[in-house]
Structure 1
Amino acid sequence: MGRTVSAKRMLLIETAFALFYCKGVHAVGINEVLAESGVAKKTLYHHFDSKDALIAAVVDYRDQRFLSWLESRFEAVQPGIAKIDALFDALDDWFNDRVTDLMPFHGCFFINVSGEFGEPDHPIHQQCARHKQRVAALIESQLLLQMSSPEECREICQTLCLLKEGAITQAHVQGDRDAALKAKKAALRLMER
């Protein structure tokens, strides 16, 4: 029995994500997505009127999965310093391929894709920027559970996000799979202030 229309759409998104994440968006053509997914070209264009529309759907897909995963890691611990541990322990698991929901680590999908769509006003670049804003908002919401000053919370959140982004880049570009643990030490020193 064939897949439903929504199942085929999801298959296209998941297949495209796996290919884009491993090889890069511009390095993967529509025909490769079709061959890998086994979906007909007509079906692809029924769901997506262009490659950019498929890319936008893939960015949304990864955004939802990543945020859901990170939120679940935060929910698993009590408020307080454990939230900081949870953030960097989650990154450590991701960098070291212990998170099956996220695929083996190939850097940050959003950093990679935004680099391929370098113009800040390009819609896909903006989608990637919104993902980073949503992750920062999630981290800030976790900090607000333990801090009384919204201004201090925002400042610490910005620093934690810089540490997080630096760890992701260090892990990907330099292969330092311990980058999250190093960033966690710096974050905990910050929180001791």
Structure 2
Amino acid sequence: MNSKRQTLVDTALNLFYEHGINSIGINQILKVSGIAKKTLYHHFDSKDALVLATLEQRNHSFNEWLKHRLNHSKTNSEVISNLFHALQDWFSDKAPELGKFRGCFFINTSAEFSDPSSDISKYCQYHKQQVRNIVAQYLFNPTEDLLDAICILKEGAISMAYVANDLSAPKKCIQLLNKF
């Protein structure tokens, strides 16, 4: 990837994740990145195109992190434990590859783009489906009920950690899911 394009994506992702997409204008991204407006529009025809690039980058980094954290799981209980311990690390800012925890970038972005048919909303839905597929890939003979429970609890844990600052949610999820 072109280094200036990458700088724009990195800068935009950091600013969007910290402050929200609608709170950050193109001029602020240009100022922080030190890149000219002409260069930005050479790589992205709109702010939405830049938002999509940040979503793609976050999707890739999150999914690679998740695969790494689930990689050595040998049982469904280990998948569950590894998943929720990974989330606990992320919530506690112990996952440097994901940066300081500010909730789920995809949930936050979806809240700002309410049209479910927009490319941005569709990409957020795509990310959630990819995460579900990754979890399913590591489970042993997963049932839809177990996969649904894991994914719903995972989303709830993320929301509780961010909105209510409840960092105990991953432990509670492990306890609930070990009943399956």
TM-score computed with the length of structure 1 as normaliser? 0.90
**Are 1:127 and 2:129 matched, yes or no?**
no
8 A Cα contact 1:140 1:154, kept in partner: no
Name which of 56, 59, 62 aligns with 1:60: 56
Aligned equivalent of 2:134:
138
What is the aligned partner in structure 1 of residue 31 from structure 2?
A: 35
Runs of 4+ deviating beyond 6 Å: none
**Matched AA of 1:107:** G
Checking the alignment, whether the CA contact within 8 Å between 2:71 and 2:138 is kept in structure 1 is: no
Instruction: Give the number of equivalent residue pairs.
Output: 180
Shift of the alpha carbon at 1:78? Answer: 2.7
Q: Write out per-residue CA displacement over residues 108-158 of structure 1, whole angstroms, 9 at most, x where no aligned residue.
A: 000000110011111100100000000001111111xx22xx6xx222101
Give the aligned partner of residue 156 of structure 1: 146
- Given that residues 88 and 170 in structure 2 are in contact (C-alpha distance below 8 angstroms), is that contact kept between their aligned partners in structure 1? yes
Aligned counterpart for 2:45 among listed residues 26, 43, 49:
49
What is residue 16 of structure 1 aligned with on the other side?
12
Aligned to 2:105: 109
The answer on whether the counterparts of 2:13 and 2:54 sit within 8 Å (CA) in structure 1 is: yes
Which residue is equivalent to 2:165?
A: 175
Q: How many percent identity over aligned positions?
A: 43
The structure that has the greater radius of gyration is: 1
**What is the alpha-carbon distance in structure 1 between the residues aligned to residue 174 and residue 95 of structure 2?**
18
Does the CA contact (< 8 Å) of 2:4 and 2:35 recur in 1? yes
Q: How much does 1:8 deviate?
A: 1.0
| CA deviation vs aligned residue, 1:83-112 (integer Å, no higher than 9, x gap) | 111110100000110000001100000000
The CA distance in 2 between the partners of 1:28 and 1:95, in whole Å, is: 24
Match of 2:155, as an amino acid?
A: E
Q: State the alpha-carbon separation in 2 of the partners of residues 131 and 179 from structure 1.
A: 22
TM-score, structure 2 normalization: 0.96
Shift of 1:165: 0.4
- Letter paired with 1:168: I
**Root-mean-square deviation over aligned CA pairs:** 1.2
Deviation track 1:14-43 (CA, whole Å, cap 9, x = no partner) reads 110000001000000001111111111111
Aligned-residue offset at 1:63: 0.4
